[in-house]
Amino acid sequence: MTMMDIKKKNIEANNKRDGESFYTEKEIFKQFINKLGKDILYYFPSLMIPAFVSIANVAIFTRIFNPETYGIYALVIATAAIFIALFSQWIQASILRFFAEFKKREEQAEFNKNLIIILFLISGILIMIFIFLYPLINSAFIKYKRFYLYTVIFIIFSILFENLCTLFQADLRSSGYSKYKIINSITRLFFSLAFIFFIARDILGLIVGSILSCAILFYPMVKELNLINYYRKAKKGFSLSFVKKFASFGFPMLGWFAGSEILNLSDRFILEHFKGSTQVGIYSANYSLLGRGIGLIFSPILLAAHPLILNVWEKSKNKIYIQKLITSISRYFFLMAIPIIVYISFLSKSIAFIFLGKSYHEGYIIIPVIAIAFALWHLSLYAHKTLEIRKKTIVMFYSIIVCAITNILLNLIFIPLYGYIGAAITTLISYLIYLIIIYFATKKDIRLIFPWKSIFNILLASTTLTIYLWILKLLMQDIINIVYLILLIISIFIYIVVLYLIGEIRKYEIEFFKNLFLTKLS
């Protein structure tokens, strides 16, 4: 036996532990691609269509309403989002965690009955809170007074709708989940437009449209989930232990949900205070437009990675496996994220001019900054999965609170000086701080190991892409749109070819896509 054979045998021996196969990069690729394919098949329509409809929302309504009016609407929705996060997301997290457990014990009726009671209790608590807060709104926030009742109804219906969707997801009924997400996005736009064009040219129509959309879907969702029959079949009444079970799991995440909403939305309120609703409108329109597009691209990666990480952890409980898995999958994130940022940076002006009303065009300057910020945020969501599987949610809570406070302090400095540009800069800084904190928080346990060699190669390929796009930009005034589009498509192949030439694209990856292409042709 040669030294090479002995070395190979030792590596193979080290790559086994307790009879489990070591997760090689090739094996991880297969699992990830398979999971990504399933998630795209099951959930991508529920991400893609609502995202496109949301982009259409921004494109249409920024042409109907001026930035000041749109800014007021953005602040109302931001406030509603905070309440929805506080009163709903902890329940959604608990549904996903415990539904399968109750179903396995054939206690689905008890689960659904108690869930219904919790949702109605939450709705009642919210109504009492809003009755108590009304005098404050009536005296201190006069221009928001007319939105108040509609916003309360919107919050309650949104909580009911999102939790029913989560119930479909927990019961592995992805078709139902996708169906109602898609219908809701389309009917919301339809009702909003109907209100604006046939009743009143008022931004309030956007909230009314959202309420009507959720309201008409409530009964069909309840019926399809068979919740009424489950409620009647339940052998036991309301269970306090059930509530405790939900609360013990969901409440630790409540702080993180609240902190993330403050981190993501506080800049709107500070911007309104120092610079007025017009700048809020310009900022929110460009931010929302980009947010939907970036989410559409990055969400499938997270959808595929999360269950794969959980599955590996449940099978092996081996930190080395998880670290290798996370490092390998993070490479695919960088392969997509870096060139996307390059494209968005070069096309930012065109994106704003195509999708937004004229009054909002000046905000294109923040699009590259927000693109980088969103990429960092999605990477952070991916990185802190290791804290979730280790149930170290308190670390996540402290991390997000530090970043939220930092974000507020930075906004108080930068927004008075630079307006919405300052808000974009502080968003980028805050998201970067969160990623750094998560990196060091996981360093002594299941840490995120960045694939630095791959990142260097991707940056090299992206630099080539940047040079090509820069030359294209200098010449674009003399190029007709169809030729420019073709040249943009060619730039994708340039990026891939450079990656191949420097050895970043693996042989098994080429073989996989080659076989996939040949299968499609045959």
Q: Do 404 and 329 share a structural domain?
A: yes
Q: Do 169 and 31 share a structural domain?
A: no
* Phi, psi (deg, nearest 5) at residue 480: -70, 155
* 516, two tokens: 């996939």
- How far apart (Å, rounded) are the C-alpha atoms in residues 40 and 46? 9
DSSP 22: P
Question: Which pLDDT belongs to residue 311?
Answer: 63
Question: Which pLDDT belongs to residue 487?
Answer: 73
Evaluate if pTM is beyond 0.85.
no
Question: Which pLDDT belongs to residue 20?
Answer: 44
- pLDDT tens-place string over residues 474-511: 776 656 556 666 777 788 888 888 998 888 887 777 77
- pLDDT tens-place string over residues 104-118: 777 777 888 888 888
- How far apart (Å, rounded) are the C-alpha atoms in residues 425 and 289? 17
Q: Do 195 and 82 share a structural domain?
A: yes
- Domain-located, residue 386: yes
- Domain-located, residue 519: no
- Domain-located, residue 251: no
Q: Do 355 and 220 share a structural domain?
A: no
Asked if 186 contacts 111 with a C-beta cutoff of 8 angstroms, the reply is no
> 444-447: long-range contacts (C-beta < 8 A, 24 or more apart)?
445/319, 445/386, 445/390, 445/392, 446/319, 446/322, 446/323, 446/326, 446/386, 446/389, 446/390, 447/323, 447/386
DSSP 70: H
- How far apart (Å, rounded) are the C-alpha atoms in residues 303 and 370? 22
Full 3-state SS string of 233-287: HCCCCCCHHHHHHHHHHHHHHHHHHHHHHHHHHHHHHHHHHHHCHHHHHHHHHHH
Residues 228-241 as b or e (16 or more Cβ within 10 Å = b): eebbeebeeeeeee
- Domain-located, residue 14: no
Q: Do 428 and 361 share a structural domain?
A: yes
Q: Do 425 and 297 share a structural domain?
A: yes
Q: Do 144 and 32 share a structural domain?
A: no
Can you tell me whether residue 16 is helix, strand or coil?
A: strand
* pLDDT-flagged residues of the chain (< 50): 3-4, 6-22
Count of domains observed in the chain = 3
- Domain-located, residue 137: yes
Question: Which pLDDT belongs to residue 510?
Answer: 76
- Domain-located, residue 330: yes
Q: Do 378 and 445 share a structural domain?
A: yes
Q: Do 509 and 395 share a structural domain?
A: no
Q: Do 441 and 466 share a structural domain?
A: no
* 139, two tokens: 């005296």
- Domain-located, residue 2: no
Question: Which pLDDT belongs to residue 162?
Answer: 93
Q: Do 469 and 440 share a structural domain?
A: no
- Domain-located, residue 59: no
Terminal C-alpha separation, the chain: 45
* Of 400, 432, 450, the domain-final residue: 450
**What is the domain range of residue 157?**
65-238
Q: Which DSSP string corresponds to 283-336?
A: HHHHHHHHHHHHHHHHHHHHHHHHHHHHHHHHHH--HHHHHHHHHHHHHHHHHH
* Of 221, 238, 255, the domain-final residue: 238
Q: Do 289 and 213 share a structural domain?
A: no
